[in-house]
Amino acid sequence: MNCIFCKIINKEIPSYTVYEDEKVLVFLDANPDSNGHLLIIPKKHILDLDSMDSETFAHIIEVAKKMKKLLEERLNIDGLTLIQNNGYVQEVKHFHLHLKPYYIKKQTKKDLDEIYKLLS
């Protein structure tokens, strides 16, 4: 299957993976909106919200809570927005939950290497 996120799961494409278990992978968005912008994806290929099952979704939420703590502890984020795009606004056709950090104080954009070091 020609899915870029399945290729990331299969390590055919490199990623800055910050968390992994049997069901999900969490990695840095390649084009982050802010420092620490993460994507949580299921390891099985699920297209979007319509094809998402409750068990996997519940697990993704548990992992999102863990990642929120990690971002608070390591990057001192002040806020976090969760976004999951479908249809016309979904660029990558493999379900992914965006975790977008917000900072009260304006941040300079750090490179992914630097953010990865802080989160791993």
- Tokens representing 40 are 């949580």
Q: Is 96 a catalytic residue?
A: yes
- Cβ proximity to Zn ion, 6 vs 118, nearer residue: 6
Q: Is 30 in the site for ligand 5GP (CB under 6 A)?
A: yes
Give the integer Cα–Cα distance in Å for 82 and 53. Answer: 18
Determine how many CB atoms are found less than 10 A away from the CB of residue 69.
9
Give the number of residues in contact with Zn ion, rule: CB under 5 A: 5
> Taking a C-beta distance cutoff of 8 angstroms, is the pair 41, 25 a contact?
yes
Summarize as ranges the residues that interact with Zn ion (CB under 5 A): 3, 5-6, 45, 94
Summarize as ranges the residues that interact with ligand 5GP (CB under 6 A): 4, 13, 15, 27-31, 85, 90-92
